[in-house]
Chains A and B, each alone.
Chain A
Amino acid sequence: MTRGSVAATCAGIAAGIVALAIPLLGMPLLADIDFRICALLMVAVSWNLMAGAGLVSLGHSAFWGLGAYVAILAANDFAVPFAASLLPAMLAGALLGAALALITGRMRGIYFAISTLAASEGLRVLATMLPDITGGGNGLYLDSKLFPGKTAIGLAAPCGAILAALIAWAISRSRYAFALRAMRNNELASQMLGVAPIRFRVGIMMIAGAIATLAGAINAWHGGYLDPGVGFDLKTTIDAQIAPILGGVYTLPGPIIGAIATIGFEELTRALFGGMVGISLLVFGIVLVVVVLCMPQGIFGLLRGLRLPWRPATPRAAR
């Protein structure tokens, strides 16, 4: 391992410990920020996994919302407790991922992106049209008898985030990372060399789907209320890609750094300009544009550039 990767590993482990410790400190504001970072981190890692295979998603709110509905409906209708409700949610996310992969087939680029956007909008409309199950536009309240307590939910988010990061790490170390990169570069050529793109698409979208639905499910327990607009909010989709792009797209630490930076930055602008409605969002937007223009490799790219004398870590070759 290079010195850079040792430092990155230590930083990752330290961040995991801090994220797990914060819910236990009994500081609500800090715990809320911790929760939001972890939830965003999960969708960001999920989005980045798909983007790494050339699949740019505009539909991460589909996974998020699906996870929220499955978890809350499992709790309300079948009295499934918190932890157990996360499993069917992840299963549903994996199935949605597989279905999307099979339906989109060989679509790439904007065609794929639009299909995922359509999936997310379709699910939102479906949730509105099934009021008997989802409560429709009136929404659903989580059965408060089942509420496991703020600490349990606060701890679930960092656990999920660590799990997501570990999965992304394991994939980046496997020889599949190589095939996925080749697919992103040129899917047809990768097929000519013996890579079965559809198999990789289904696999990566099942994993990414399960991670993003897990985030949505934990968040639904956190919020306690759900309607189609909240569940399938376009903002989830946008945030899912802002974080990795800000942090460093296609890289392992990118979405993690990006999630911390995005939430930290949102909090900062809110603290500075919170009094003026809309101004904090405007400032956030402007800074985001500047950051993307000036550092296309994201924060991680900037950090990597800083330690040039150490020789940048080259990606591992396939084994």
Chain B
Amino acid sequence: MTALLALSNIRAGYGESLVLQDLSLEVAEGEVVCLLGANGAGKTTTTRVIAGLMRPWNGEIRFAGRNVADVPGHLRVALGIGLSPEGRQIFPDMTVHENLLLGSYTPRARRERPRAMEQALALFPRLHERLRQKAGLMSGGEQQMLAIARALMSRPRLLMLDEPSLGLGPRIVMDVYAAVAETARSGISILLVEQNAEAALSAADRGYVLANGSIVASGSAAVLRDSALVQQAFLGTPPSVPHAVAK
């Protein structure tokens, strides 16, 4: 498998404070990769660096074999990097339909707009019912679906999802993750950034664990799920189960 996205030795931060130190990760063509981390670990900063919304201090970002570190954010969309951002960031005063249309703003996406719209609405039938409604009036789960659908409207090769389960009830999380799996089956690479390790590991092929701005563990989803680090930090299993049982 060739790497669609490869970050190497990324250092980035805001003002004086360093957030990402020496971060490297890869996402292969057609792969679902999750990036786990606690609050403040640097997950969202990573997505911002990849999407070009923030310039890293140094390091290299390669996408589809090309160094894109100097490509500004609004042009990375055209390269095939789609982001469903943290906090959804939908356009609240615009209708669901208008939000989706804006998703295919780039010339390439605009040409494929009818097909993309059809696919996005097939993926999230709920949005179909709400097309003429103001996006800001929808539930959190529906807004999350809209954010993902809007990112898909740009016809990305890599879809980044920043905390898609944040603030959603378990049922809706399942719906959202079903759509993620469906998207992955269509061949789009996915970088899933999550605090919800259980959901993310169930959907991902591979994962990385981010702590204090650098990767502290990586491996296949199965390996990560069983690792003591992930167990303790994210899955809430007591540190020593046998001991608890013995008691």
| In the complex, chain A residues whose CB is within 8 Å of the CB of B101 | 178, 317-318
- Is A2 in contact with chain B by the CB < 8 A criterion? no
A194 touches B77 (CB 8 A): yes
Chain B proximity of A209: nearest CB distance (Å): 23
A193 touches B154 (CB 8 A): yes
A194 touches B105 (CB 8 A): yes
| In the complex, chain A residues whose CB is within 8 Å of the CB of B97 | 317
Chain B proximity of A178: nearest CB distance (Å): 7
Among A16-24, A92-100, A135-143, A179-187, the stretch that binds chain B is A179-187
Interface residues of B in 53-84 (CB under 8 A from A): 53, 72-75, 77-78, 83
- Looking across the interface, which residue of chain A has its beta carbon closest to that of B97? A317
- Is B90 in contact with chain A by the CB < 8 A criterion? yes
- Is A192 in contact with chain B by the CB < 8 A criterion? yes
A317 touches B98 (CB 8 A): yes
- Is B85 in contact with chain A by the CB < 8 A criterion? yes
- Is B51 in contact with chain A by the CB < 8 A criterion? yes
B89 touches A192 (CB 8 A): yes
Chain A proximity of B153: nearest CB distance (Å): 8
Chain A proximity of B234: nearest CB distance (Å): 27
- Looking across the interface, which residue of chain B has its beta carbon closest to that of A250? B93
- Is B102 in contact with chain A by the CB < 8 A criterion? yes
- A contact patch SS: helix
Measured in the bound complex, the distance between the Cα atoms of B77 and A205 in whole Å is 25
Q: Report B18-61 CB contacts with A as 1/0, cut-off 8 Å.
A: 00000000000000000000000000000000010100000000
Measured in the bound complex, the distance between the Cα atoms of B105 and A181 in whole Å is 13
Measured in the bound complex, the distance between the Cα atoms of B97 and A196 in whole Å is 21
- Is B150 in contact with chain A by the CB < 8 A criterion? yes
Measured in the bound complex, the distance between the Cα atoms of B101 and A186 in whole Å is 15
Q: A182-B91, A182-B94 are in contact. Are A191 and B53 (CB under 8 A)?
A: yes
B53 touches A193 (CB 8 A): no
Measured in the bound complex, the distance between the Cα atoms of B85 and A195 in whole Å is 16
How many residues belonging to A are interface residues under a CB distance threshold of 8 Å? 19
Interface residues of A in 57-80 (CB under 8 A from B): none
Q: A178-B101, A193-B103 are in contact. Are A188 and B78 (CB under 8 A)?
A: no
- Is B106 in contact with chain A by the CB < 8 A criterion? yes
B72 touches A188 (CB 8 A): no
Chain B proximity of A309: nearest CB distance (Å): 19
- Is B92 in contact with chain A by the CB < 8 A criterion? yes
A178 touches B102 (CB 8 A): yes
A194 touches B89 (CB 8 A): no
B77 touches A193 (CB 8 A): yes
A192 touches B83 (CB 8 A): yes
| In the complex, chain B residues whose CB is within 8 Å of the CB of A318 | 98, 101-102, 105
- Is A189 in contact with chain B by the CB < 8 A criterion? yes
Chain A proximity of B164: nearest CB distance (Å): 15
- Is A104 in contact with chain B by the CB < 8 A criterion? no
| In the complex, chain A residues whose CB is within 8 Å of the CB of B85 | 188-189, 192
| In the complex, chain A residues whose CB is within 8 Å of the CB of B89 | 186, 188-189, 192
Measured in the bound complex, the distance between the Cα atoms of B76 and A161 in whole Å is 40
Counting chain A CB atoms within 10 Å of each CB, the highest count among B83, B92, B94 belongs to: B94
Q: A178-B98, A189-B85, A317-B98 are in contact. Are A195 and B90 (CB under 8 A)?
A: no
- Looking across the interface, which residue of chain B has its beta carbon closest to that of A199? B74
Chain B proximity of A2: nearest CB distance (Å): 16
Chain A proximity of B30: nearest CB distance (Å): 23
Measured in the bound complex, the distance between the Cα atoms of B135 and A182 in whole Å is 12
- Is A190 in contact with chain B by the CB < 8 A criterion? yes
Interface residues of B in 96-118 (CB under 8 A from A): 97-98, 101-103, 105-106, 109
Interface residues of A (CB under 8 A from B): 178-179, 181-182, 185-186, 188-197, 315, 317-318
Interface residues of B (CB under 8 A from A): 51, 53, 72-75, 77-78, 83, 85, 89-94, 97-98, 101-103, 105-106, 109, 150, 154
Q: Give 13 pairs: A residue, B residue, CB < 8 Å, sorted on A.
A: A179-B102, A181-B94, A182-B91, A182-B102, A185-B94, A189-B90, A190-B91, A191-B73, A192-B51, A192-B77, A193-B154, A194-B75, A195-B74
Leading 3 A-B pairs by shortest Cβ distance: A185-B91, A194-B77, A189-B89
Known: A188-B89, A196-B75. 17 other contacts (CB 8 A): A178-B98, A181-B94, A182-B91, A185-B91, A185-B92, A188-B53, A191-B53, A191-B73, A192-B77, A192-B89, A193-B150, A194-B75, A194-B106, A196-B72, A315-B98, A318-B102, A318-B105
